[in-house]
């Protein structure tokens, strides 16, 4: 079907396809741009790109989900921020060329089932899928850390969203059967099997976010200010035993730093709980993470808090939390194995009734 759409739009056939999955972060939120630990896993929803090289430096791109499939165009070497979805593609080609990789113009059709603004890394899935298609089309030699770095530069320096590297690394390396225990400082990682006694439920709250806007970037700036006062390069450098130094910071920097330090401590504890199949401990860490994001980092919103509370009240749920950068988006819940579908349906029914919003069950896939 997408081959036909490509032909309708561009008058030819795609020669390659690139793809990347969305991700749900189990725990470790707002730690990646502070040099800390994260624990994402892949979700079934993906972004795919059908691409064909051209004989010039023109780029023509279209999205199945945005602009009613209208074709947008720009020229390699003349990338500029336009304030729309094409900025992610333009940022990728801008920094791919800046880092010395040779490629030409192309036509590309993009289709995605990763919901935009859901906290499930739709932007990184787009960046990495475009890069994977360009690698295949032009024979580029890029390893996952390089792909992730270029994607992050596109998001940070071209789009203007000061995100960390977790999303791009997850889009490159995460799979559905394991969680990627990633150290964002040195990009070392371990694949940790998901606990056999549990399943995941991921629900989009129906409240979307935009990380290129001010609130997310303000949290980054607050972390930088806390680092300056603490005399460290990154909040990763503050151990959990040194929280007294954090508590002495002025408001709100004390709470912002406290979240990062305690959240970074929760990630390896969550890994240990997963390896031990200790679902009660893992669920408690989910709950503590959400409370910290709500109260210290202040990135939750009332609708998401309600969705988390409804999920926690279910007898088959071990724990639940906001996942992703916040200001809307999705929750992830750890539930008893075999109960995921029923839990998701119960929770979304109650949430829709109480909030008036329309939630979407993303995991398990319907």
Quick: pLDDT tens for 20-44.
999 999 999 999 999 999 999 999 9
84 alpha carbon, distance to own chain's centre: 19
Domains in the chain and their CATH numbers?
Answer: 2-189 (3.30.230.10), 196-363 (3.30.70.890)
pLDDT above 90 as % of the chain: 93
305, containing H or E segment: helix 302-312
- pLDDT tens digits, residue range 188-204? 999 999 999 999 999 99
Give me the pLDDT at residue 210, please: 64
Pick the catalytic residue: 167, 278, 314, 316?
Answer: 167
CB burial readout 217-233, b (16+ within 10 A) else e? bebbebbebbbeebebe
Contact between residue 159 and residue 123 where contact means Cβ atoms under 8 Å apart:
yes
Provide the strand spans (E) within 185-259: 189-193, 198-204
- pLDDT tens digits, residue range 156-186? 999 998 889 999 999 999 999 999 999 999 9
**In the predicted structure, residue 212 carries a pLDDT above the cut 60:** no
At 117, the pLDDT band (50, 70, 90 cuts) reads confident
**In the predicted structure, residue 132 carries a pLDDT above the cut 80:** yes
Q: Could you give the CA distance from residue 41 to residue 35 in angstroms, rounded to a whole number?
A: 19
237 is catalytic: no
Q: What is the mean pLDDT of the chain?
A: 96
Give me the pLDDT at residue 2, please: 86
Q: Could you give the CA distance from residue 26 to residue 235 in angstroms, rounded to a whole number?
A: 20
DSSP β-bridge partners for residue 221:
none
| Backbone dihedral angles phi then psi of residue 186, each to the nearest 5 degrees | -115, 0
- pLDDT tens digits, residue range 222-242? 999 999 999 999 999 999 999
pLDDT above 70 as % of the chain: 98
At 213, the pLDDT band (50, 70, 90 cuts) reads low
**In the predicted structure, residue 211 carries a pLDDT above the cut 90:** no
Q: Could you give the CA distance from residue 364 to residue 200 in angstroms, rounded to a whole number?
A: 7
Give me the pLDDT at residue 216, please: 83
- pLDDT tens digits, residue range 83-116? 999 999 999 999 999 999 999 999 999 999 999 8
């Amino acid at each position: 079907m997408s081959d036909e759409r490509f032909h309708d739009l561009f008058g030819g056939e795609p020669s390659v396809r690139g793809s990347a999955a969305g991700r749900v972060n189990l725990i470790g939120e707002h730690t990646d741009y502070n040099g800390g630990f994260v624990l994402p896993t892949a979700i079934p929803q993906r972004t795919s790109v059908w691409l064909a090289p051209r004989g010039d430096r023109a780029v023509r791109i279209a999205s199945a989900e945005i602009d009613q499939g209208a074709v947008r165009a720009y020229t390699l070497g003349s990338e500029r921020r336009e304030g729309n979805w094409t900025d992610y593609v333009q940022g990728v080609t801008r920094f791919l060329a800046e880092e010395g990789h040779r490629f030409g113009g192309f036509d590309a059709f993009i289709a995605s089932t990763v919901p935009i603004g859901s906290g499930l890394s739709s932007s990184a899935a787009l960046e990495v899928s475009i890069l994977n298609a360009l690698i295949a089309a032009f024979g580029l030699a890029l390893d996952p850390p390089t792909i992730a770095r270029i994607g992050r530069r596109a998001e940070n320096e071209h789009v203007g969203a000061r995100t960390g590297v977790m999303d791009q690394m997850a889009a490159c390396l995460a799979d559905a059967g394991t969680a990627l225990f990633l150290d964002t400082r040195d990009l070392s990682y371990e694949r940790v099997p998901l606990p056999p006694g549990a399943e995941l439920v991921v629900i989009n709250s129906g409240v979307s976010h935009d990380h290129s806007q001010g609130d997310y970037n303000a949290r980054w700036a607050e972390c930088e200010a806390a680092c300056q006062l603490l005399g460290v390069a990154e909040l990763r450098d503050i151990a959990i035993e040194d929280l007294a130094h954090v508590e002495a910071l002025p408001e709100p920097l004390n709470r912002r730093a406290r979240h990062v330090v305690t959240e970074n401590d929760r990630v390896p504890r969550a890994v240990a709980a997963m390896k031990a199949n200790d679902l009660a401990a893992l669920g408690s860490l989910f709950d503590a993470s959400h409370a910290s994001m709500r109260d210290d980092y202040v990135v939750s919103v009332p609708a998401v808090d309600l969705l988390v509370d409804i999920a926690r009240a279910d007898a088959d749920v071990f724990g639940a939390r906001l996942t992703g950068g916040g200001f809307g988006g999705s929750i992830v819940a750890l539930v008893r194995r075999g109960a995921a579908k029923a839990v998701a349906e119960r929770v979304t029914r109650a949430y829709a009734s109480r909030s008036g919003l329309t939630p979407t069950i993303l995991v398990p896939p319907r």
